[in-house]
Homo-oligomer: A and B are copies of this chain.
Amino acid sequence: MPMATINNNGKIQEATCEQELAAIIDSLEILGGKWKLRIMRHLNNHASETNTFKKIQREVEGISSKMLAKELRDLEINLLVTRTVLDTRPVSVSYSITEYGLSVLPVNEVLVQWGLNHRQRLRLS
Protein backbone atom coordinates (compact mmCIF):
# COMPACT_ATOMS: atom_id res chain seq x y z
CA MET A 1 0.00 0.00 0.00
CA PRO A 2 1.71 3.18 -1.19
CA MET A 3 1.59 6.30 0.94
CA ALA A 4 1.59 9.97 0.08
CA THR A 5 4.49 12.32 0.65
CA ILE A 6 5.25 15.85 -0.43
CA ASN A 7 8.38 16.52 -2.46
CA ASN A 8 10.37 19.65 -3.32
CA ASN A 9 7.79 21.15 -5.55
CA GLY A 10 4.87 20.37 -3.33
CA LYS A 11 3.80 17.57 -5.64
CA ILE A 12 2.60 14.27 -4.22
CA GLN A 13 4.96 11.31 -4.29
CA GLU A 14 3.92 7.71 -3.81
CA ALA A 15 6.20 5.42 -1.82
CA THR A 16 5.95 1.80 -0.79
CA CYS A 17 6.59 0.75 2.76
CA GLU A 18 10.05 -0.51 1.79
CA GLN A 19 10.86 2.78 0.10
CA GLU A 20 9.82 4.58 3.25
CA LEU A 21 12.11 2.37 5.28
CA ALA A 22 14.96 3.09 2.90
CA ALA A 23 14.21 6.80 3.17
CA ILE A 24 14.46 6.71 6.96
CA ILE A 25 17.73 4.83 6.73
CA ASP A 26 19.04 7.48 4.33
CA SER A 27 17.97 10.32 6.58
CA LEU A 28 19.54 8.84 9.66
CA GLU A 29 22.71 8.03 7.77
CA ILE A 30 23.07 11.52 6.34
CA LEU A 31 21.84 13.59 9.28
CA GLY A 32 22.46 11.23 12.19
CA GLY A 33 25.60 10.81 14.22
CA LYS A 34 27.18 13.13 16.71
CA TRP A 35 28.11 16.14 14.62
CA LYS A 36 26.10 16.54 11.40
CA LEU A 37 23.12 18.40 12.80
CA ARG A 38 25.28 20.43 15.16
CA ILE A 39 27.31 21.67 12.21
CA MET A 40 24.22 22.40 10.14
CA ARG A 41 22.65 24.30 13.02
CA HIS A 42 25.80 26.28 13.54
CA LEU A 43 26.14 27.19 9.88
CA ASN A 44 22.52 28.25 9.82
CA ASN A 45 22.76 30.31 13.01
CA HIS A 46 25.85 32.09 11.69
CA ALA A 47 24.81 32.32 8.06
CA SER A 48 25.65 36.02 7.90
CA GLU A 49 29.27 35.42 8.89
CA THR A 50 32.23 33.88 7.11
CA ASN A 51 32.56 30.44 8.60
CA THR A 52 36.11 29.26 8.10
CA PHE A 53 37.27 25.81 9.10
CA LYS A 54 39.05 27.02 12.20
CA LYS A 55 36.21 29.29 13.23
CA ILE A 56 33.75 26.41 13.03
CA GLN A 57 36.12 24.22 14.97
CA ARG A 58 36.43 26.82 17.70
CA GLU A 59 32.70 27.32 17.95
CA VAL A 60 31.37 23.77 17.59
CA GLU A 61 32.44 22.60 20.98
CA GLY A 62 34.62 19.52 21.21
CA ILE A 63 34.99 18.59 17.57
CA SER A 64 38.42 17.54 16.30
CA SER A 65 39.86 18.67 12.97
CA LYS A 66 39.64 15.12 11.70
CA MET A 67 35.94 14.78 12.43
CA LEU A 68 35.14 18.29 11.23
CA ALA A 69 36.89 17.69 7.90
CA LYS A 70 35.09 14.39 7.44
CA GLU A 71 31.66 15.68 8.38
CA LEU A 72 31.99 18.73 6.16
CA ARG A 73 33.05 16.51 3.26
CA ASP A 74 30.01 14.30 3.78
CA LEU A 75 27.68 17.29 3.99
CA GLU A 76 29.19 18.74 0.84
CA ILE A 77 28.74 15.46 -1.04
CA ASN A 78 25.08 15.57 -0.08
CA LEU A 79 24.78 19.14 -1.37
CA LEU A 80 23.92 20.50 2.06
CA VAL A 81 27.01 22.67 2.36
CA THR A 82 29.34 24.50 -0.03
CA ARG A 83 33.09 24.81 0.32
CA THR A 84 34.78 27.98 -0.89
CA VAL A 85 38.50 28.61 -0.91
CA LEU A 86 39.21 32.26 -0.14
CA ASP A 87 42.40 33.88 -1.40
CA THR A 88 43.39 35.30 1.92
CA ARG A 89 46.94 34.94 3.28
CA PRO A 90 47.24 32.34 4.60
CA VAL A 91 44.56 30.66 2.50
CA SER A 92 41.33 30.05 4.37
CA VAL A 93 38.27 28.05 3.47
CA SER A 94 34.71 29.12 4.07
CA TYR A 95 31.73 26.80 4.48
CA SER A 96 28.11 27.80 4.01
CA ILE A 97 24.78 26.05 4.24
CA THR A 98 23.18 25.73 0.80
CA GLU A 99 19.64 26.68 0.00
CA TYR A 100 18.89 22.98 -0.26
CA GLY A 101 20.59 22.55 3.13
CA LEU A 102 17.83 24.65 4.62
CA SER A 103 15.53 21.67 4.06
CA VAL A 104 17.25 20.07 7.03
CA LEU A 105 15.90 22.69 9.41
CA PRO A 106 12.40 21.19 9.73
CA VAL A 107 13.96 17.82 10.51
CA ASN A 108 16.10 19.51 13.12
CA GLU A 109 13.10 21.26 14.57
CA VAL A 110 11.01 18.11 14.86
CA LEU A 111 13.81 16.32 16.66
CA VAL A 112 14.25 19.27 19.02
CA GLN A 113 10.55 19.37 19.78
CA TRP A 114 10.24 15.69 20.35
CA GLY A 115 13.33 15.59 22.57
CA LEU A 116 12.20 18.52 24.70
CA ASN A 117 8.75 17.10 25.00
CA HIS A 118 10.10 13.69 25.92
CA ARG A 119 12.24 15.07 28.74
CA GLN A 120 9.18 16.74 30.18
CA ARG A 121 7.14 13.58 29.78
CA LEU A 122 9.67 11.45 31.63
CA ARG A 123 9.95 14.02 34.41
CA LEU A 124 6.18 14.05 34.86
CA SER A 125 5.62 10.31 34.77
Whether the Cβ atoms of A38 and B21 lie closer than 8 Å is: yes
Whether the Cβ atoms of A20 and B117 lie closer than 8 Å is: no
Within 8 A of B (CB), among A1-59: 5-8, 13, 15, 17, 19-28, 30-32, 37-38, 41, 45
Residues of B within 8 A of A73 (CB): none
Residues of B within 8 A of A78 (CB): 118, 122
Residues of B within 8 A of A26 (CB): 115, 118-119
Chain A contact-residue range equals 35 or more
Closest 6 CB pairs of A and B: A23-B115, A26-B115, A27-B115, A27-B111, A23-B116, A110-B110
CA distance A31 to B115 in the complex (A): 10
Proximity bits, A69-113, B CB within 8 Å = 1, else 0: 000000000110000000000000000000010011011101111
